[in-house]
Structure formats: structure tokens, C-alpha cells
Amino acid sequence: AIAGTTTMMSPFKTTGYRSDTVSVGALGVRLSPEVAGQYAALQRALAPYVTPGVTPMFTLDERAGLTYLLGGVPMGSTWTDSGTPERTAGILELACRNGDVDRGRPPVLLFNRTPDPAVTHALGVCGFAFPRDFRALHVAGGPPGIRVYVTATS
């Protein structure tokens, strides 16, 4: 009962059951109205760049849920952390070598920090030179701390 109550009343990285009153997307995730508005702004800003179920996305540091919220396809590992950049880069390179990443479709990148050199190198191995091939996309009212990058040619 303790785990169930704790999970329900204060779930991981949300404001809690009583405050999370707005359903976001088809995922059934409930968030506070403020946070839901931030993610809605992100969805609107990326709509021209995302084909649901097709567009590759890459996130850093426990932000994998953004890929699913936005309808993207994960590139490499969906769970990354700043303490293991070589692991993140290795899995990304392996996904590209195995053909799991469509090199003909530039990804959307969602970062909360500057990517480590190993990750930048792995993106290059996949055929996507960061930052050269990308441009920052301003997301008015979007989630604080999330930097969004789309292909420079779009």
C-alpha cells in the first residue's frame, strides 16, 4: 500500500496526483495545467517537422518520454544519462550501423545540455553532423531547459 500510495500521490517527475489534472496527448499522462501547456507548445512548434511514427528523435538525460509524447521514433537508447556518454554514444552508433536509424530522415534533437563529444561523434557516424546540420528551434512557452534542434535545411 505504501508504494502504491507514494507512486499515485507523488509520481516520478510530476507535481502529484491532485495537481496533475490535464491529460496530455494519447499517452494518458496527466500533468499540471502549467506543465501540460509547456508540452502543448512543444508539440505545436514541432508539428511541421514531425511525421508521427516516422521522425527519428534523440534526447539526453532521462527525457525519453518526449520522444513518445511527440510521436517520434527513438534513436539509440531511450534512456540516457550524463554519467555514461560513451554508453549512449555506443548504442547510438550501433543503432545506425544496424540500420535502425533512417539516415535519410534528419532527426529532431531535444537536449537539456550541450551533448558530450562522444555523443556528437556518434551523431556524425549516423550521418548527422551536430551542430553544423542543425538549427535551434525557438519554442515559445515550451518546457524550460529543453533546447530543440531541427535540420538546418528545414
Mean predicted lDDT score pLDDT of the chain: 85
57 pairs with which residues across the strands?
74, 108
Cα distance between residue 141 and residue 148, in whole Å: 13
What is the tens place of the pLDDT at every residue in 83-130?
889 999 999 999 999 999 998 999 999 999 999 999 999 999 999 999
Confidence of residue 9 (pLDDT cuts 50, 70, 90): very low
In terms of Cβ atoms closer than 10 Å to its own Cβ (0-12, 13-18, 19+), residue 54 is exposed
Q: CB atoms < 10 A from the CB of 17, how many?
A: 14
The answer to whether the CB of 148 falls within 8 A of the CB of 45 is yes
